Amino acid sequence: MKSNWKLLALMALLSSVITLAAYNLLGFNNRDVIFNESSPIPTITGRLASMPGGPSAVPGDFSTAAEAVTPMVVHIRTTMTRTVRQQQQMPDIFREFFGDEFGGNQRQPRRQQGQASGSGVIISKDGYIVTNNHVVQDADEVEVIMTDKRSFKAKVIGTDPLTDLAVIKVDANNLPFITLGDSDALKLGEWVLAVGYPLDLESTVTAGIVSAKGRRIGILDQNINKNDAKPDSPVEAFIQTDAAINPGNSGGALVNLRGELIGINSAIASATGYYSGYGFAVPVSLVKKVSADLLKYGNVQRGYIGILPIELNSTVAKEKGAKIGRGIYVENVVEKGAAEAAGLKKGDVIVKMEGQALDSDAQMREIIGRRRPGDIVNVTVNRDGSERDFKVELRNRNGGRDVIKKSDITAANTSLNTLGASFEDLSAQDAKQLGVTGGVRVKKITDGKLAETDVEEGFIIVKANGKNVKTTKDLQAIMSSVKEGEGLMLIGMYPNSSRMYYYAVPV
């Protein structure tokens, strides 16, 4: 009996040591930014393509794929600068005599550097690398570190916040690059490996299975450009896996047991910010298309079907009077859009697209997200209980079929972009509480003209150069009329202050 107590005591001691070790590991210097014509992306058919593995491989036999893929996944470290404003403390003697407002606005801007860490996947021997947009977003410098310890400065080629993908490049040749697989062929329960640099550690491989496909989690909604007159919707159709993914895995590889890339790890579902059992990866079907567009055009060419979709379930189907309970209900069709031109009508239910049965809006957006304006999409519709097939020619954001250059999209926002900030319209409720008819809130300040002033994030602009500002369109119009060498006078307030502030912004 005594020996049993000694054994239990020893086990308890070991357990506490392991727990402490795990705790220290999780707390280790986490600097990750927490929170898709012929493709120029090469596909190899050599050693990796002939590897044993895949869905039929023996579970647990991961070594061949892991050893081959590890050199193709890189560590990415970024340096970024942000503006921090601190309250300058006033000596008590001045506060006593003149009050807290003595000296005017005492908040002083200060530039502060920070670092972040993530992963990336080499897709060509001459140095092109795919990663997440949030890994390199707003970075001043991007450093890529190979598994052999070589380090390179990288250039950001293009980014796409709506799929959270980016392409960067290093000046190197004869690099090992990954095979692009087929995410459509993935099966639930199939073994996969996640390869990356979690928690700023060295290259790490974890294993799990495909838990779900076409998963929408709403994490990319924050990337919608609210200053855009025609904002695009994010494309979320994540592969869900239980392979352990932590901060730092962002931009790393999700591969099958043949060593083929089937996704780019992007997010985790967690209450703590660390692995809790669910990780999400952008499917390689989107990675191929988005990276090819970024390399060829500088921006993503998006096709539009021109409908207002509603995802059906039994309750919605009853409300809409639909004959079936699954599919995408067409609530409306855009006038002169692709769907209307093809013959789709309000009340139709899209049950198949490109031969795939449609169960979710996310799935439909992912299928369309792989295509460009002018591409034909085969659509099967249930209309009044019978099925009909349509060929829908996708349109661009302007209703045409041509490629839209990056400069065309950003031209309308060029003036606002020079301010180096993101803006949002003041809600009607907030405007009422503040006693104004409208305004524009400074949501985030990065680099630009506002960073050179004392304007703080949260500032609400109500006038610019003497004209009322109720929406971002008003501010854009005023900015567009400012001539070179002239200034911009902003008048507004902060949410918890009744005082009006005046800021002169050099333009």
Rg (CA), the chain: 26
Cβ proximity of 278 and 243 under 8 Å: no
Of residues 420, 412, 421, 453, the one with CA closest to residue 440: 421
347 in a known ligand binding site: no
Angstrom CA distances, 448 to 183, 191, 413, 421, stand at 40, 47, 14, 7
50 in a known ligand binding site: no
Name the catalytic one among 32, 164, 200, 361.
164
**16: annotated active-site residue:** no
Tokens for 252? 């790393």
The number of CA neighbours under 13 Å toward the Cβ of 284 is: 23
Report d(CA 284, CA 281) in Å as an integer. Answer: 9
- Find the length of the chain: 507
Of residues 240, 117, 243, 258, the one with CA closest to residue 178: 258
**134: annotated active-site residue:** yes
SS3 418: coil
**164: annotated active-site residue:** yes
Tokens for 24? 């220290």
Tell whether the torsion through CA atoms of 95, 96, 100 and 101 is positive or negative.
negative
Chain mean position to CA 176: 26
Name the catalytic one among 117, 124, 134, 203.
134
Cβ proximity of 180 and 40 under 8 Å: no
Report d(CA 119, CA 144) in Å as an integer. Answer: 9
75 in a known ligand binding site: no
4 in a known ligand binding site: no
221 in a known ligand binding site: no
Residues marked as catalytic: 134, 164, 250
Q: Residues annotated as binding site for substrate? A: 134, 164, 248-250
